[in-house]
Amino acid sequence: MKLSNEKRSRSSELRVLVATPLGLNGRGGIDRLNDAIFEALGATSDTTVVAERLVTRGQRGLFAAQFVFFLALIKLILRRVTGKIDLLHIHLSDWGSSYRKATLGAAARMLGIPYVVHLHGAVFDEFWGAAPRRLGTAIDNLFRYSRKIIVLGNYWAETVKSRVPDAADRIVVLPNATRAASRARTPPTDSRVRITSLGQLGERKGTPQLIEALGQLSSKPGWVATIAGDGSVNEARSRIAEIGLKDRVAVPGWLGPDDTAELLSRTDVLVLPTFAENLPMVILEAFAHGVPVVSTPVGAIPEVVQSGRNGLLVPVGDVEALVAAIDQLIESPTMRASFGEAARRDHSAKYEITTYVSTLAEIWLDLAATPSFDSRTSMGLGEVRS
Residue 182: predicted pLDDT:
82
Q: Where are the alpha helices (DSSP H) in 82-206?
A: 96-111, 124-130, 133-144, 154-163
Residue 232: predicted pLDDT:
98
Beta carbons within 8 Å of 347's beta carbon, 6+ residues apart: 178, 180, 284, 287, 288
Beta carbons within 8 Å of 241's beta carbon, 6+ residues apart: none
Dihedral (CA of 291, 297, 301, 303) sign: positive
Residue 12: predicted pLDDT:
63
Among residues 357, 179, 201, 202, the alpha carbon closest in space to that of 264 is found at: 179
Residue 45: predicted pLDDT:
65
Residue 26: predicted pLDDT:
93
Strand segments (E) across the chain = 14-20, 49-55, 87-92, 115-119, 148-151, 171-173, 193-198, 223-228, 249-253, 269-272, 293-295, 311-313
For the chain, 386 residues long, give each residue's pLDDT as a single digit of tens: 233 333 344 346 899 999 999 999 999 999 999 999 999 998 876 778 999 999 999 999 888 999 999 999 999 999 999 999 999 999 999 999 999 999 999 999 999 999 999 999 999 999 999 999 999 999 999 999 999 999 999 999 999 999 999 999 999 999 999 999 988 887 888 899 999 999 999 999 999 999 999 999 999 999 999 999 999 999 999 999 999 999 999 999 999 999 999 999 999 999 999 999 999 999 999 999 999 999 999 999 999 999 999 999 999 999 999 999 999 999 999 999 999 999 999 999 999 999 999 999 999 999 988 865 343 343 344 333 33
pTM for this structure? Answer: 0.91
DSSP classification of residue 185: P
Residue 5: predicted pLDDT:
38
42 by DSSP, 3-state: which? helix
Domains and CATH numbers, the chain: 5-177+352-378 (3.40.50.2000), 193-350 (3.40.50.2000)
Contact 57, 72 (CB under 8 A): no
DSSP classification of residue 301: G
State how far the Cα of 85 lies from the Cα of 336, in Å rounded to an integer.
48
